[in-house]
Structure 1
Amino acid sequence: MPSDSSYLESVLHHDIPLTREMGLKVVDWQQDQLRLHMPLQANINHKSTMFGGSLYCGAVLAGWGWLHLQLRRNGIEDGHIVIQEGQISYPLPVTRDATVVCGPPEEKVWQRFLATYKRHGRARLTLDTWVLNEGSEERAVAFTGQYVLHR
C-alpha cells in the first residue's frame, strides 16, 4: 500500500494536472503537518522569484491536501473539498525552491468540523498555510483558507 505522501501526490497529479507542470511534490505527512515542495525553476517569474499565482496555488493545495489526508485518516471518503475563500500575504520574495506547510487547527475546531459534517453533510474549516524559502524557517508567504466539505 502506498504511503500517504505518495497517495496524495498521485491524487493531485491525476485530478489537478497543473500540479505536474508546477513540479509539485508531497514531501511528507507527519505529526498532522503536510509539507509540499515546489521548484523555483518551474514557477519562476520575470523577476527571477517564484510567481505569486504559483505560491497561491501551492498554499491552497497544501490546505486541500491536509484536509484530504486527515479525512481519509478519519474514515471519511464521501465528501468533496472545495476552497471557498482565501487570504494571502507575500512579506518576502521566494528566491529558491519553496516548502509549503499546512498544520492542524485546534483539536476542538477539528472535532466541531467533523461533528457538523456528520450531522449536516456540509462543514467549513479554516486552515493556515505558509511558504518557506528552502533552507529557511522564515515565512515568506502566509495564507489562510476556508475550505468546505460537502456530500
Structure 2
Amino acid sequence: MNRDSRYLESVLHHDIPLTREMGLKVLDWQQGQLALHLPLQANINHKSTMFGGSLYCGAVLAGWGWLHLKLREEGVEDGHIVIQEGQISYPLPVTRDATVVCPAPEEKVWKRFLATYKRYGRARLMLETWIVNEGSADHAVAFTGQYVLHR
C-alpha cells in the first residue's frame, strides 16, 4: 500500500465510519486507477453472498475515492465531492471477498471537468466502477455514477 492509499483509507474510515464496519481497505492507487477490497464476511447476507447495499456502497466509494485522490494530485483542495446519481447492475453474485475498481475517465473528459470546476466552482463527472470476485476477472457488479464537485 502506497502513501496515497493509506491516506485515502484514513480519510474514508474517519469521515465515513461505515467503511470501517464494512472492512473496506484501499488496495492500490496507481496509473489513474483505484482498487478497494471488500471482505465477504463483514458484508454477508442471508444467502451467503455479499449484501447488495454493501456492493453499492463500495462502488460509490471507489468513484468518490478516485475523484478525491485525483483532485489532490491536481492541487484542488477547495471542493466538496457528492454523488448525484448512480446506476448499478448485479449480473453475478459476489461469493468471495471482492475487489472494487475505478479506472480513470478519458483524459479529455477529465480536463473538461477540471476546467469547468475552475471556471464555475461546480462540475459533474461520470465515473464507472466494477466489482469482481477475488480470483475472477468477470464483472459481478457494474456501476456508473455522476459525481458533483462544488465549492
**Cα distance in structure 1, aligned partners of 2:20 and 2:66:** 18
Which residue matches 1:109? 109
Return the offset for 1:103: 0.4
Which residue matches 1:135? 135
**Cα distance in structure 2, aligned partners of 1:41 and 1:126:** 30
Which residue matches 2:16? 16
Which residue matches 2:84? 84
**Cα distance in structure 2, aligned partners of 1:82 and 1:112:** 18
**Cα distance in structure 1, aligned partners of 2:77 and 2:54:** 28
What RMSD, in angstroms, separates the aligned Cα atoms of the two structures? 0.6
SS in 1 for 2:118: helix
SS in 2 for 1:45: coil
Amino acid at match of 2:138: E
SS in 1 for 2:54: helix
Unaligned runs of 5+ in 1: none
**Cα distance in structure 2, aligned partners of 1:41 and 1:96:** 9
Identity %: 85
Return the offset for 1:149: 0.1
Which residue matches 2:146? 146
Unaligned runs of 5+ in 2: none
**Number of residues paired by the alignment?**
150
- Runs of 4 or more, structure 1, over 6 Å off, are none
SS in 2 for 1:46: coil
- TM-score, normalization: structure 2? 0.99
